[in-house]
Amino acid sequence: MKPQAVAQGKGNRPLRILFAAAECHPFEKSSGIADVTSGLPRELAALGHEVEIFIPLYLKALLYPVLHDLPIYRARDFPPVKVRLGPYLYRSRIYSTRLPDSTVKVHLVDADTFQYFTAKSALASHRSLEDTFSRFAFFSKVIATIAARRRERPDVVHAHDWPAGLVPLLLTTQFYWTGIASVFTVHNVRQSEGVSPEVFYRLTRQRESRHPGLYGWAGRGLLHEGRMDLLKAGLVRADVVTTVSPSHAEELQREEYGGSYAPTLRWIAAQGGLRGILNGLDPSWLPARSPAELLADRPTNKAELQRLFDLPVDPTALLAIMTSRLTASKGYPLLPEALGRLRREGYNIQLGIASEGENGLLEHLLDQDSPQLPVRHRPWGDEPWHRLLYSGADLLLMPSHEEPCGLGQLAAQAYGTPPLVHATGGLRDTVGDEETGFVFHRYHAWDFADAIARAHRLFREEPAAWRALQERIMGLDHSWRASAQEYVELYRLAQRRAARADRYAPLPPVPVE
């Protein structure tokens, strides 16, 4: 039975939701977006809504269903879409499969020549801006056309980050008559792509006079700091903009976090169009064992983890780990000074870093290794011991300067490992100081060291309180269910905003400050 058949009324009927993103786990993953576009659609489907996901047809994504016994077939549900880019005309080629252990359809999009994605590496590849723009302009045009012209149109198109930023814009310019609501989620405002207006016109042959809104119409076009910017397109033309935590939605309105997009985001928030909803944790990361069993296994797991990191097997040492990517924004520059202070003050602490990233930064961190406070590293890779990190460590360090949501702290809590975090973004929303972890507020090495010292004292001197903290965090609900219900309410808000008579009326320009 289709979801619509069980509807209780127009306002409460199940929704048809189309996701558009550059990646989706397990078909392709280069960032946390892949976890969102996998976990959220699963939960929306479990709530009775009809969900489809569109991602590029990377070779890895095409092979995954074949290698894991999932159905995959050339899509016949929608005719090929023709897209002109520069002097060439391409037709779409789409293959359909589904999420593992789910009925949610996943559609893989490329040109019929396999021009844009199949023969290329994933999103993180180092290619020219023009090439990147062409790829995702094609991708967005295909999705917007399918959404607007299919027999059963989606109620809501949910586009994710700059690769799908053109989708809301196309729905409100070329396909404005459909009334499809759009939601745009910004995952990382620091990353966007764009091209000059001259390159944009050469590739698309679209002028402002023929397609109002594409350039700078009332501040709601692509043009941003001289570029035709894909992130800007999604921000200013979606009916509702979201990000992945309530605190990060507030932070993005300040230049420190939102950069040159901050004035635009303040304007969107003032119109009631900006929301922050926390990510959930993919079910594959949730422990299969009970809290009592996890706690009983901790001494054994800790000793095994210490051996893996080539650390002394010492049950009295506080074993801290870091799993964030090795970049400065994740707080690694705070470590040398913080560790130096803790070493001088005689704290019995061990640090294991399981991550990849900047080699120079890693070498600097490993220079801090000493018999008094050992520091070890293992590359993250695709190792089977990842769960051991959270089920064996005593403390997870996440001193990020900024963290839109963060998933590491959620996984650690599920396994009974208290996270120690800087009060930013989703870390501030999910960790309460000495309630569900440890928090430091000023981004400074000494404040970071103070928080580690507090955790060490509780671990060594108050074992009953430490055990109570572990039991408390293992009882938290990190599933997608609560967040999915918030998204359903948001989708209905987007529908109401899309139905307004003044939806396309020119609004005051975005203020430039």
Radius of gyration of the chain (CA): 24
CB 416 within 8 A of CB 341: no
CB 379 within 8 A of CB 303: no
Beta bridge partners of 73: 96
Question: Tens digits of per-residue pLDDT, 7-49?
Answer: 334 568 999 999 999 999 999 988 889 999 999 999 999 999 9
pLDDT band at 508; cut points 50, 70, 90: low
In angstroms, rounded to a whole number, what is the distance separating the alpha carbons of residues 229 and 224? 6
Quick one: tokens of 418? 């208290």
C-alpha atoms less than 13 angstroms from C-alpha of 500 in its C-beta half-sphere? 12
Express as a percent the part of the chain with pLDDT over 70. 90
Strands 156-160 and 16-20: parallel
DSSP characters for 52-76?
EEEEE--HHHHHHHHHTT---EE--
Q: What 3 state SS string does 318-357 have? A: EEEEECCCECHHHCHHHHHHHHHHHHHCCCCEEEEEECCE
DSSP characters for 130-186?
HHHHHHHHHHHHHHHHHHHHSSS--SEEEEETGGGTHHHHHHTTTTGGG--EEEEE-
User: Of 167-181, 208-222, 230-244, which has the strongest mean pLDDT?
Assistant: 230-244
10 Å Cβ neighbour count for 198?
Answer: 9
How confident is the prediction for the chain on average, in pLDDT?
89
**Position 122 pLDDT exceeds 50:** no
Q: Specify the long-range contacts of residues 268-275, CB closer than 8 Å, at least 24 apart.
A: 268/235, 268/236, 268/241, 271/507, 273/238, 273/239, 273/240, 273/241, 273/497, 274/240, 274/241, 274/242, 274/243, 274/249, 275/240, 275/241, 275/242, 275/243, 275/249, 275/490
pLDDT band at 510; cut points 50, 70, 90: low
Question: Tens digits of per-residue pLDDT, 448-480?
Answer: 999 999 999 999 999 999 999 999 999 999 889
In angstroms, rounded to a whole number, what is the distance separating the alpha carbons of residues 513 and 430? 32
**Position 6 pLDDT exceeds 50:** no
Nearest one of 381, 375, 374 to 363, comparing CA atoms: 375
C-alpha atoms less than 13 angstroms from C-alpha of 140 in its C-beta half-sphere? 30
Express as a percent the part of the chain with pLDDT over 90. 68
Given this model, what pLDDT does residue 211 score? 60
SS3 439: strand
Quick one: tokens of 15? 């929704």
**Of 1-5, 104-108, 198-202, which range is least confident?**
1-5
**Position 154 pLDDT exceeds 60:** yes
Q: Extract the runs of DSSP E, i.e. beta strands, from 214-282.
A: 223-224, 227-229, 240-243, 274-276
Stretch 254-273: mean pLDDT: 92
Question: Tens digits of per-residue pLDDT, 58-87?
Answer: 999 999 999 999 999 999 888 899 998 888
C-alpha atoms less than 13 angstroms from C-alpha of 272 in its C-beta half-sphere? 5
Given this model, what pLDDT does residue 197 score? 86
SS3 260: helix
C-alpha atoms less than 13 angstroms from C-alpha of 185 in its C-beta half-sphere? 29
Question: Tens digits of per-residue pLDDT, 172-218?
Answer: 888 888 889 999 999 989 888 888 888 888 888 776 656 656 676 55
CB 161 within 8 A of CB 185: yes
DSSP characters for 467-483?
HHHHHHHHTS--SSHHH
CB 406 within 8 A of CB 426: yes
